[in-house]
Amino acid sequence: MASVKPTVFFLPGGYHGSWIYDSVRGILSDRGFATDASDLVSVGTTDASVGIHSDATHLRSQLTRIIDEGKEVVLVAHSYGGIVASNAVDGLSIEQRAAQGKQGGIILILYLAALVVPAGRTFLSLCPPTPSWDVIEVKPIFTGNCNRRSTDVYTQGGFWVPKDPLSSFYADVEPSLASKAVDALKPMSPGVLRDETKYEPWNQGFEVGYIFTEEDKQLPLEAQESMFSQFPKGSFSARLASGHSPFLNVPGALADVIQEGIDHVSKKKLLA
């Protein structure tokens, strides 16, 4: 591993705030890593037009703030955050920056039980809902590669909220922490469903990796494996015996595999 450790930057998934990473950030801090995190502007907003690109623009500003200081960054994105990460990073890889005579950049994007969506697609084109989003119960919301359970969201005034988060997100999380997490959830803007993705970092020279959650009830393992299949041969991967929220359930194990990902790209660089 490099003598100067990269900054590990965390992005949550839908409905969640960045507080969910507090435990794993503390563990990594104790191991000598700087960490940072960003919230999603689509979560908790009252503006229904806010979507993927609003989230991506906000994330890019946060990443650029660190990268322009010449720092190397590992970006960890969970669930919906995977789409945001993909659309925020054009021109920010360590190689792209070096080609412009600049220091710093992203050395690895880790998709944590995250959505990996090809350019030119939207939520609605990839996983179309059947009934109107104006009704209370939507089923099924996702089909095909997403492979999510039916009846797992409501809409409230057009905004997207989970129907049974305790089961979908936190079934294996300690009960009092799971209750805290449920209480902290916020609605999402419906704009995230309609924005078209524009960038595929895995096809643009970025180092990418995937962290699988093997007991996931929200994004089943077979769907995660389908996402990972888009990555170049030799991309990093790791598996956690966890549901959809390993940052709450097994933060130490999550910190371990993040370090493994960093070691993986460091060794590749040495052998290049």
CA distance 24 to 255: 6
pLDDT at 16 > cutoff 80: yes
CA distance 158 to 262: 40
Span 256-272, mean pLDDT? 93
CA distance 205 to 236: 14
**Residues near 258 by beta carbon (within 8 Å), at least 6 away in sequence:** 8, 24, 28, 74, 76, 110, 211
Q: How confident is the model at residue 255 (pLDDT cuts 50, 70, 90)?
A: very high
| Nearest C-alpha neighbor of 248 from the set 13, 7, 41 | 13
CA distance 67 to 89: 11
What is the reported pLDDT for 126? 65
Span 172-197, mean pLDDT? 94
Span 48-59, mean pLDDT? 96
- pTM of the prediction? 0.90
pLDDT tens-digit map of 107-149: 999 999 999 999 999 877 765 543 333 322 333 333 334 544 4
Rounded to 10 degrees, the C-alpha dihedral 25/30/36/40 comes to 10
CA distance 261 to 112: 12
| Nearest C-alpha neighbor of 266 from the set 94, 39, 15 | 94
What is the reported pLDDT for 131? 36
CA distance 26 to 254: 12
Per-residue burial over 86-113, b if 16 or more Cβ lie within 10 Å, else e, is: bbbbbebbbebbeeeeeebbbbbbbbbb
